[in-house]
A and B are shown apart, each in its own frame.
Chain A
Amino acid sequence: MTDRQRRAAIEGWYTLEKDQPHLLGSRCVACGTFFFPKLSTFCRNPVCDSTAFESVPLSRTGRLWSYTSASYQPPEPYVAAVPFVPFAIAAVTLEHEKMTVLGQVVEGCGVDQLQVGMQMELVVETLHQTEALDVVVWKWRPLGALTGSAS
């Protein structure tokens, strides 16, 4: 797992640092509203007519709003391993941005290790593999957990 090359599953949505990656959003320079995914055209706040945005990293941590599991293999374009490995899914509320962002939970962390209200942090982990490289995506894990499993 160590030396394989990595590529973002969705270009420009998150940074790829192994340590402390973050989601990449944008922020309206007029009203301060955050957007994820990034917005660069017209602000969606109905009382704001701004067209100017700055790229910003979003908070790396937040509170678990809710969670679930994908116990069955999702359809394409999801690329499943053979055999399919079920995974957990989290909705995490970022306090500073006042928004909730969905994402997979890291490998090895099941719903039994999650609780609404707990602190979660962002990581980047493999979504699927090609022969040459790991295609990686943002995921959530319980804050302070060293690997996939909560400490």
Chain B
Amino acid sequence: MSRDVVVLGVGMHPWGKWGRHFVEYGVHAARAALADAGVEWREVGFISGAATMRCGYPGYVAGATFAQALGWQGAEVNTSYAACASGSQALAAARAKILAGDCEVALVVGADTTPKGFLAPAKGYRPDDPDWVRFYVGITNPTYFALYARRRMALYGATEQDFTAIKVKNAAAGVHNVNARYRKAFSADEVMSSAMVADPLRLLQICATSDGGAAVVIASAAYAKRLGVKRPVRIAAISTVTPRFASGEVEMPDIATDSAVAAEAHSFRASIALKAYAEAGIGPEDVSLAEVYDLASSMELDWYEYLHLCKTGEAEGLLRSGATAIGGRIPVNPSGGLASFGEAVPAQALAQVCEVVWQLRGAAGARQVKKAKVGITANQGLFGHGSSVLLKR
């Protein structure tokens, strides 16, 4: 009981390519989350922002930026940056503050305004930065996704039809999500006839970048009780693990893996959820739904295995059985996933939490997963940031 931190409210600004300032999306989402929680902003003791690197100095100090925009009220502040995992790091910081007894209610916010096209590195000749080197030699983000996809095809018999089926599945769910950027169903033919980007991956199997904002209000169990909240969604665990040497898989943005001469090779992504399961005392067999990072449709297959929803090499079978669609045994990405959202880096991990909370409350409408009791999120931030949030009700 003492380790229970509850989610009082969640809110989002719809994803899109709105071209407005990121603070606008963040404040919109924060106000929605506060309203959902029934908590006044002035009651919040700690504001935790997920940083964006693309919106100038206000983005580097996102926590304070959002606090000022909401109106300075003296709350303590934090800003976290962990690339795609920034949102869960900001959430972990707020949860730790509550668990330490330092604050009773906290607001976590992430928002971004994104440029068009490929995400490119900072300029200059910078051979010491692996992110610069890999772009210089022509290795973009889809390169990594495609290497994993081709490997699955060779080892486990994944097909282009499988990758397409995931896009079709997630797009069909996203149609019902008012916060999704693309609310359009796709046929397999449409996906398969889109342009090849990084063989075997096509344009419609790779996620875009989006503007968007998401926010979460969390509190101590005692605070929730005083508010009279019945059966709130609880945070059962958060994993923010780093890799373990020797990291044996090619990870963006590296040009090479660790050498496993002196230490055994480990799979970083397979370790992320294990920490969350262990902390919560909950196993993959207890999970009702998952929100995972389908940067490319093919990577959803990897996540089935990394979340231990099936054994290694069995993800294709799980997909083909229909188990991971809404109505199946273990729906994955009922929000529509990145396929329907496009990535808004600092907001995305929080958006995953928002979806799980709505699902566990039974408030997901046409996307509702039946009898949802436990939900897990998973993503990975560049440069070794694991991210997984386990929620239960």
Chain A residues in the interface with B (C-beta under 8 A): 9-11, 13, 28, 31-37, 44-48, 65-72, 74-78, 87-89, 91, 97-104, 111, 115-117, 127, 137
Contacts and interface: CB of A to CB of B under 8 A. Distances in A.
Contact of B137 (A9, A36, A75): A9
B259 A35 contact: yes
Contact of A98 (B118, B142, B261): B261
Contacts of B133: 10, 37
Contacts of A34: 259, 261
B241 to A, nearest CB: 14
Contacts of B120: 75-76
Given A76-B123, A91-B147, A117-B154, A98 B140 contact: no
A68 B260 contact: no
Interface stretch (B194-202, B325-333, B337-345): B194-202
B117 interface: yes
Contact of A33 (B121, B138, B199, B259): B259
A32 B262 contact: yes
B150 interface: yes
Contacts of A69: 146, 196, 198-199
Contact of A44 (B138, B150, B258): B258
Interface in B137-183: 137-140, 142-143, 146-151, 154-155
A12 B246 CA distance: 24
B134 interface: yes
Contacts of A102: 134, 139, 143, 147, 250, 255-256
- Looking at B121, B125, B133, which has the most chain A CB atoms within 10 Å of its CB? B133
Given A102-B134, A102-B250, A31 B262 contact: yes
A36 B255 contact: yes
B132 interface: yes
Contact of A97 (B136, B148, B200, B261): B261
B82 to A, nearest CB: 20
Interface in B240-279: 245-246, 249-250, 255-263, 265
B250 A44 contact: no
Of the four ranges (under 10, 10 to 19, 20 to 34, 35 or more), the interface on chain B belongs to: 35 or more
14 contacts: A10-B133, A31-B262, A33-B258, A33-B262, A46-B245, A66-B150, A68-B199, A74-B138, A77-B125, A98-B246, A102-B250, A104-B137, A104-B138, A127-B136
Contacts of A103: 137, 255
Contacts of A111: 199
A46 B244 CA distance: 9
B207 to A, nearest CB: 15
Given A31-B262, A33-B262, A78-B137, A71 B197 contact: yes
A45 B139 contact: no
B57 interface: no
Contacts of B155: 116
A53 B201 CA distance: 40
Contacts of A37: 130, 133, 255-256
B259 A99 contact: yes
Contacts of B261: 31-34, 97-98
A142 to B, nearest CB: 16
Nearest to A72: B197
Contacts of A99: 256-260
